[in-house]
């Protein structure tokens, strides 16, 4: 079966605090988050920008979170104001995954990796790996 796997990375800057955390992460602070998204599909699709079925999905659809928060992304936001969940790295990865799935064609599996620091990251998927 043919398979295409798109990979993209981007960064965004944001502030947050983890409510109820007993330590310094409970105070407002910021990160430059690095995000890697892997999108896997067994078919090609059209997109908002291309009518013919020649791409898994548009890279722009995968990179929405890198946009300024005033344009619907997460860059230069206070994540506590943007996300309906706790702002742990685990929940941020889950949120980006769910929002990205909403924006792309059905049948594409995603793995979202979020680095909070150079040495600490989390992966999220809703598929069995």
Report, as residue numbers or ranges, the catalytic residues: 25, 76, 116
Q: Which residues pair with 9 in a beta bridge?
A: 36
User: Phi and psi (nearest 5°) for 29?
Assistant: -155, 175
Report the sign of the C-alpha dihedral through residues 66, 67, 69, 75, in that order.
Answer: positive
Q: How far apart are CA 87 and CA 19, in angstroms?
A: 8
- Element containing residue 106 per DSSP (H, E): none
Q: How far apart are CA 10 and CA 126, in angstroms?
A: 21
- Element containing residue 81 per DSSP (H, E): helix 79-82
> Going by DSSP bridges, is the β-strand pair 4-16/29-41 parallel, antiparallel, or unpaired?
antiparallel
């Amino acid at each position: 079966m043919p398979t295409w796997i798109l990979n993209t990375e981007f960064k965004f800057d944001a502030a947050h605090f983890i409510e109820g955390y007993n330590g310094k992460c409970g105070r407002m602070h910021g990160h430059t988050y690095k995000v890697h998204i892997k999108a896997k599909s067994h078919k090609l699709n059209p997109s908002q920008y291309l009518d013919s079925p020649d791409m898994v999905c548009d890279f722009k659809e995968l990179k929405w979170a890198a946009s300024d928060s005033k344009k619907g992304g997460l860059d230069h936001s206070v994540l506590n104001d943007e996300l309906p969940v706790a702002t742990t790295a685990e929940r941020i990865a889950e949120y980006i995954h769910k929002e990205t799935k909403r924006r792309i064609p059905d049948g594409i599996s995603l793995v979202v990796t979020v680095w909070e620091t150079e040495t600490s990251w989390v992966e999220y998927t809703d598929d069995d790996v």
